[in-house]
Structure 1
């Protein structure tokens, strides 16, 4: 397959023009190489057609690849709400087959409006749509030879700041010292912002897993853990806390007030994000910034939260909220209310870089999530192809390659593929 400039295509389409240009330069070889570098290897964009959409599932994510009649492809990824969606990908692929992929907004709207009774408001349908829409932007950038951020209107910044989720939630009953050690480890790796989860259904002090009111022992645990983090990293490192929407408004308010002296960058989802009135109640009663949005779909889902002033910061997950175009619309909507845009991100580096293109294209971007296991676990290096450093001193440099700039590695994915599900078939 070809997915870049093609000398054969150049020689077939424009040999005479290439030789004429070369004669004007000092040597034939230099002129030919320059002409090849400038040549678009694809035929008229109007002739581009989608031939197939295939997918593979790896660790809670679906990776989509859109193929065309000109051997240029696009890649996209969706997370979380994707279990059992192989045939949904196939169905959407059949609906788009034969159409020109260079209209991401129109094709995404075609799929969404065509499924008002098929789940197009949220959940698995929108998550799969997100992967496909992302892959369409990837193709479009490759065909026109520009990075996705350029298609979105250009960029405000070259580098995207990330915070490091330390993934301490994988430990059983971690102590405040464990929190402090994990925070210092992340800072030693160059990160200037760290995040910790404090909700823990395994807490031995918990009376009842179905009762969302935290008891005094749970509250002490949640406070002491983050107090240890702040003491360990000092005042200049940003600290973020996630409660995963697993508490009631009483507990959420209590923790937000208790955390005020620790100067958090935000307290994330102290309650579920589906009741703007209760979020507004918490937000207005504390100086701790309140953040939510990873389980909200499409721009419609954010309208009331923003209009009511219910959140200080929004964090849509760009691998399931509706696509890159929809993500930019969400950010621009938030910007009208002077609310920062800080996307949730638990995807691979393909999803991370796709998110970076959106974050670069909007003025109100604040920070992007990064998972520490992506630095440590070989899986995340095997399943994608990228020829540069991923994070440097808490920043990701936005790719200047056409499209997203990161490719999925099908061979690398095979050993991690979810059993029992067809793999790119």
Structure 2
């Protein structure tokens, strides 16, 4: 693509004004100019229009990947997780609602889609998850159009690398024993991680009262403590340990487990009870010195407001691949910051989602830590379905991409063999 003087003139005229609000320019007034010089351009931004949205699914539909195409040789990539099975036609409908519009008005397009769906479920769930993927792709596209990384569009960065905790997936061992937890923790530390996470809810635990009772039995409580105590003994006092209960217990058990874990000095206890009842979370948080974390199953900044107003959680963990996107993720983090609550996003997406989340984590002061899955290191699929430069991870941190946009691309051909059967694939 060849540069066009009218577009370059447009950027030169706006560079000095933009520099006043951009936090990481090389020198006054030069950052946007240099970005323009290195970015392919065919016309001024006002001529950039959305022409199509295409999507593909993997993981039996639980991972949605979106590409927003334009009338120029430029596109944006986004991803959503969990609340996505069966949403192909929803994604295409949202695409039709913004077709022909400029992709650079990210917040406006987000509101156009959200407000048009008030009676279609635009408060949470699948609607917001799909909107998340599209919103993320719009940020990626805008960054590419302006030759800037997404964190710069979000106002700049507080850090160059994003610390992660390694979800060790010890649950893959049926009925894991304390020694299995200890070994998984030591393996993660050996790989360079300084924080680990374990799931302590076990649906098949023979000590359970029954399959539907949310109260943990004494046998379950003993198992949970012994597993986590083995981790603390294995890694010593300076490694952060997080544990997850996946919202599968009741208030009584949540309080008891939080209290039981106090001597083990956890970084946080995640979702001891379901997401819906903020008042119940407040009761648990006030009963213990163990930090309580929630937010994976909350949507939009609206969904987090009550948690903050009540002081219901110590740490907030929105999933930036389903809570509303990158702009909404930053709003949630900034809202949390008003209440002095740390921001530690949940993340079970691909490396595209991990890097997209990293841009948000870099852009806010109250970032604590980001989730990382051990299967990124072990399963070749996660390197095949995306394209990127450099290592995914270094010494327990994601190096923040400086490339325009998110810095990670969807690899359609690599993803094709993992596509969900019976679903259209980027059509």
| Same fold, TM-score > 0.5, yes or no | yes
Using the size of structure 1 for normalisation, the TM-score is 0.92
Distance in 2 between residues matched to 1:242 and 1:316, nearest whole Å: 14
Aligned equivalent of 2:282 = 280
Distance in 2 between residues matched to 1:407 and 1:63, nearest whole Å: 10
CA drift of 1:171 comes to 1.8
For each residue in 1:370-402, what CA deviation from the matched residue of structure 2 results, as whole angstroms up to 9, or x when unmatched? 000010000000000011111111111110000
Give 3-state SS (helix, strand or coil) of 2:249's partner. Answer: coil
Distance in 1 between residues matched to 2:40 and 2:196, nearest whole Å: 43
CA drift of 1:276 comes to 1.0
Aligned equivalent of 1:53 = 53
CA RMSD of aligned residues (A): 1.5
Distance in 2 between residues matched to 1:35 and 1:280, nearest whole Å: 47
Using the size of structure 2 for normalisation, the TM-score is 0.92
Shift in alpha-carbon separation, 1:150–1:216, aligned structure 2, 3 A: same
Q: Show the 5 A alignment for 1:19-418.
A: 38=38, 40-59=40-59, 60-418=62-420
Gaps of 5+ in 2: 10-33
CA drift of 1:285 comes to 1.0
For each residue in 1:7-52, what CA deviation from the matched residue of structure 2 results, as whole angstroms up to 9, or x when unmatched? xx14x869xx9xxxxxxxxxxxxxxxx9995464231100010000
Distance in 2 between residues matched to 1:295 and 1:256, nearest whole Å: 20
Distance in 2 between residues matched to 1:273 and 1:328, nearest whole Å: 21
Whether the 8 Å CA contact 1:42–1:143 is kept in 2: the answer is no
Distance in 2 between residues matched to 1:214 and 1:350, nearest whole Å: 37
Distance in 1 between residues matched to 2:38 and 2:412, nearest whole Å: 29
Which range moves more in the overlay, 201-210 or 284-293?
201-210
CA drift of 1:274 comes to 1.1
For each residue in 1:285-314, what CA deviation from the matched residue of structure 2 results, as whole angstroms up to 9, or x when unmatched? 100000000000000011011010000000
Distance in 1 between residues matched to 2:347 and 2:354, nearest whole Å: 7
How many residues are treated as equivalent by the alignment? Answer: 399
For each residue in 1:173-197, what CA deviation from the matched residue of structure 2 results, as whole angstroms up to 9, or x when unmatched? 0000000000001111100000000
Distance in 2 between residues matched to 1:332 and 1:192, nearest whole Å: 26
Give 3-state SS (helix, strand or coil) of 2:110's partner. Answer: helix
Shift in alpha-carbon separation, 1:141–1:221, aligned structure 2, 3 A: same
Distance in 1 between residues matched to 2:286 and 2:101, nearest whole Å: 49
Distance in 1 between residues matched to 2:242 and 2:356, nearest whole Å: 23
CA drift of 1:260 comes to 0.3
Structure (1 or 2) with the larger CA radius of gyration = 1
Distance in 1 between residues matched to 2:279 and 2:323, nearest whole Å: 22
Gaps of 5+ in 1: 1-5, 18-33
